[in-house]
Structure 1
Amino acid sequence: MAPRNSRGKAKGERKKKEEKVLPAVTDITVNLPDETHVVLKGISTDRIIDVCRLLSVNAGTCYITNFSLSHEVRGSRLKDTVDVSALKPCVLALSDEDYDEKLAVAHVRRLLDIVACTTCFGPSASAQDKLKSDAGKNAPAAQDNKASKKTTTKSPIPSKQSPSPKPASKDVPVDAEGDTSHSCPKLGSFYEFFSLSHLTPPLQCTPPLSLIRKAAKREIDEISVDDHLFSLDVKLCNGKLVQVEACRKGFYNVGKQRILCHNLVDLLRQLSRAFDNAYDELMKAFAERNKFGNLPYGFRANTWLIPPVAAQLPSDFPPLPVEDETWGGNGGGLGRDGKKDLIPWADEFLFVASMPCTTAEERQIRDRKAFLLHSLFVDVAIFRAIKAVQHVKLKPDLLASVANSDIPYTQRIGDLSITVVKDASNASSKIDTKIDGIQATGTDKKNLVERNLLKGITADENTAAHDIATLGIVNVRHCGFIAIVKVEVREEKKVSPPSQSIELEQPEGGANALNINSLRLLLYKTIPSEHTKQTPNLQTLECKELLASEATVEKLLEESVARLEEEALEQDHLVRWELGACWIQHLQDQKNTEKDKKPSPEKGKKRSTETEMKLENSRPAFDGVRGAVEDATLPSMEPHLEIDAKDNELALQRLLSDAAFVRLKGSDTGLHRKTLRELIDLSHKYYAEVALPKLVADFGSLELSPVDGRTLTDFMHTRGLQMRSLGHVAKLSEKLSHVQSLCIHEMIVRAFKHILQAVIAAVMDHEKIAVSIAAALNLMLGVPESRDSIKTVHVHPLVWRWLEVFLKKRYEWDLSSSNFKDVRKFAILRRAVPQGGH
């Protein structure tokens, strides 16, 4: 009876524990300094930092920055880590805190960010609907449904930088539903939902953003020299200019009536009825657009979809407020100041690997630490990589050595090792540095296959956190170079990991995540007006320049096609460690299914328990088609097999740690008695005959539903499947047209990326990069002879030949014209253009 009671008690405790962690909706009341209050909808697992985020997206409090929260029981200035569930009653008081210059500038930036939706994002949805309605009333009856949907869009290639003797027209008629046809929709339409340009902007401005500007210092008696921070000129919606002084306590207006407010919105509301009304209308519009009142702010530009204001002034590429360095903005991330470069990264990753991990609670604490550390390392590594590439570009001797030899440029900063190599200018090659930062060939590739497979079949919930080699490496492509940043861990450190670690934070609840596109290299160049006057035939000269670039790209493609045609198909492919983990799980699932099937008593008498155990130990560990492996012979018939299995077990035990071998043996799959060669062969059979078909079956059952190339890639990688199998997945997906289309698009995208990366790597003169990219895009996507031929654009024959050979060699896919005619070129352009600096 005792064991039964014990089991019952444990089950009851486990159920009670599970109920305890379930989050529940919680009302959080925050009393404001003006004696009003707001009620926020949070959850019981929230912390104070989450409450601050809720306040920042609430229409009534979004303009408030630099504050602290207090509780009648827990006291003032609550830390970000305090749990909301511990606050009873859940009533907080918001208190204003003093500014310094950085915080005051951030406050101004917040206001600019809030009102940006009235000026930066083009026409709003409301305005567009009104325009369409008016146009419908005044326009004659439509003669053709398709014709009534015509609109115009600008070429994605800047006209000044990439003219062509036969280019797509600057204003080309396309279908409004472009992404489902062969044409390109208006990119600015993405911002219609976020735009509120039909409202009167509370602050008057024209792009680029100049809503509020710093002014020369003005002396005010009420503000001491020590307290004064900076001066502002604010132009309101009615044209009135307000002079404001920023100080530690808040913001003063300059004039007869002196008012001090902790925030700008309260000050401007008191000074101007026009601003007050315009701001109220904006907040009402936010509530109407989103019933929860969550404020859409914090927009950052990226390389393929930027606000319309950038298209109006491409030479300036005005930043959005959150990225505007004038007001302390940036592209996010935690490694910009360089202060974290010298963190003892090796010690930190070793500490994470040594943290307790026997219970779910311990693993949760460890995984959060690992996530924060890895996120910080990625930010720091990207910034260091960009700086290293820029350093190489500015040093002619380094540039020549890296470009013309196999000797890379290396740099060491603390525990960080930075290596810069030139990207391949051959579109058919692939510099694969994603595994341990090396290009795996020969013996290295064989070792990687063995190591990754063993890592996968012995994996558990701690594998990712313990894998310092993977966590501590970042690869960055930038301006035709590849920079590899790696944490170097000395062997003596592995023996005795540190006993303590630095405190890691996630400022602003993760809202300041790095947007790597803020590090982009602007390719557009402004041509001075005087140069234009002196060169009346500028268009002709640019056309000649583009023709020369097209000839260079054609030559590059010819060389790449020749190399591809001579290339032999790879037989031994690299193995992702996730494949081994999925393989083990599948074997165990199959074994459990077989156990559930109860054998008849007569059948059970025919085999002894000992014979069954021997058979299980010697049976091949492949779970696909039964009988697919010929060495499944009964041990009783060939005794030497049992001896071989023991030898294999000892050999494998020497390669693995004790804990890893115990896990593999305890998996009850028999894999611990196989040789490395057998494991590799069996994993390949599992890959081809089980893993790939199961992926497609799950697509068909909608258990997995990829919506684009990125989600398709994620689904494949998490199952240990490599993108080289896209052709195989496409063949298996004949009855799933949407999946097959995604596979074809992804193969073409990856092929075109090879061309663009090779083109960029081949250009040594920065001034030539833009025109080279334009030439490559024209060849890849096709250029119509005239406006009338926009529907019959064909890809360049040389690109088509290269594409056919590349997809056959890399993906074993035969590309036909029927496949290619349904390709959505906008989707190709969006994902094929290199990001992160190109």
Structure 2
Amino acid sequence: MPKLSEIISYLHYILDLMRVTPRDSNYIGLQHRFCVLRPELVASFVEAESIKKSPTQKVPDVPTELNGQESDDIASGSDATAASVEEHDKSDETPVSTPAESNDSTAEILFNPNVFTEYKLAGSPEEIEADEALVKKVGSYLLDTVIPKFVQDLCSLDVSPMDGQTLTDVLHSNGINVRYLGKVAGLIKHLPHLWDLFSAEIIVRSAKHVVKDILRQSPDHNIAPAVAHFLNCFFGKVLAASTKGSTGSPQSKTQKGQKSSQSASSKKGQSAFSQLTSDGVWSDIKEFAKHKYQFEAPDDVRVGAKRVAVLRNLCQKVGITIAARKYDLHSTTPFQPSDILNLQPVVKHSVPTCTDARKLMEAGKIRMAEVYISYTALFLVPG
């Protein structure tokens, strides 16, 4: 069977690599049509199943009947032991199933990426049921084995994420999707430093979707005011704009008619964000976090969040460039439209990295944090 690289080399057509792994059985439905399992999880599951199915070779104990024997039988007992060892060595020369042969004898684990989709599956009902059962088994393996093991590593400090990016990398390396952040966060409530990190990451990711919805409804010339107003609602305290009721007199109606033609376009552009309040923004954020991450944000999440770290993380995820100055993030309106300098697109792409070099770099950083300068040079200095 030709490899994927060989196919691409001489053929010119689009390959759908969206679902090279099966669907996540824990998220089924049209609203979760793009929820697939990570390749790291599939590889871990296949390895675990292979270990379960592989026959264990147990070396039989050499019988030694020395207990209760006379001293004159010790020599004969040792001779019998030596003979049994020689026979055991000869038996080792007989054909025994090697690990490669045992792996060949083990049935292949094949996943059907089309299960739990709207497509009509081919095959008998028994085959379809078996494919669905296998994918459900992977989902159970994620919830019952992988996530508890990851939480155990967090508690024992074998894994120590420092920010949102390292947290995402650690989750992915263990085969856990980011949508399980709320599931993991519910298991580490007793660890304040990890709880703050997980809750801040969920809040930032939820706020990213809220601000993107606002930007879609805002014209290009109102991007900076829209972003500044959202940040003020997110970090500050923006109340609802007080609207004065009209008196109904002919004079007020005439003035309203004269001003409507002049400010119609500006009101139309500002209508997407000018009515936002802090309570409304945080209500949308909490609702999104509950819907996507199954995370119940506490009432004091606004007070307990590290605002500078949250601002930096949010700007990186959305692509916002702000002016480099000291912001009073505890004020009512800490941001002005002039503080928003640029809005850059954030594109997801595949960046191939050297795994060995990355592990050496991480090991060097750990040694440097432990003030082992001499050992740090072994990891970071080439040669």
TM-score normalized with structure 2 length: 0.48
Select the structure with the greater relative contact order (CA < 8 A; seq sep ≥ 6). Answer: 2
The structure carrying a bigger strand percent of its residues is 1
The structure carrying a bigger helix percent of its residues is 2
